[in-house]
Amino acid sequence: MIIQIDNDTKARIAKYGPAKLFGDCRERQELAEEELTRRFDEVWKKAISVTIDQAESSRASKKSLEMQLTPRESQFFDVSQEQRLFTLENEGLRLLAQLRVDEDKNQGLLTQLWDSRRSTINLVSSAESSTWRLVCQSPS
């Protein structure tokens, strides 16, 4: 699939995206849109493009994907778009991409890119899952 990204989206993601990918957050707030776009293009080429292209549409429920986002981020979660969850091992990041995909699934427009690991809880076994439910249900 060919993934396109408009310059406004590139600049927004480079400005507010993960520091591990785009550098110091304070510094990025001062950058012009052209510099943010250039930075996004560098990171896209170096770290993201191949991985996101190989990632499949997430099989997780839309609700479980949305729950991995902050309340502010979830305002931009669109259930009508395709979500792809993937990991950038070298950076230690788990990202959730949102794409508006054409009917033939030949082209997609990247609309969002979130760091999804911030609010994710991974339960390894059913015993651990049962323990987690008990802890959550017990009175304080």
Give the model confidence (pLDDT) of 80-101 as tens digits.
999 999 999 888 899 999 999 9
d(CA 11, CA 7): 6
What number of residues does the chain have?
A: 140
d(CA 113, CA 115): 7
Model-wide pTM > 0.85? no
CA-based torsion, 73, 75, 112, 42: positive or negative:
negative
- pLDDT tens profile 33-89: 999 999 999 999 999 999 999 999 999 999 999 999 999 999 999 999 999 999 998
**Total structural domains within the chain:** 1
d(CA 99, CA 116): 15
Whole domain around residue 14: which residue ranges? 2-137
Closest to 14 (Cα-Cα) out of 36, 42, 38: 36
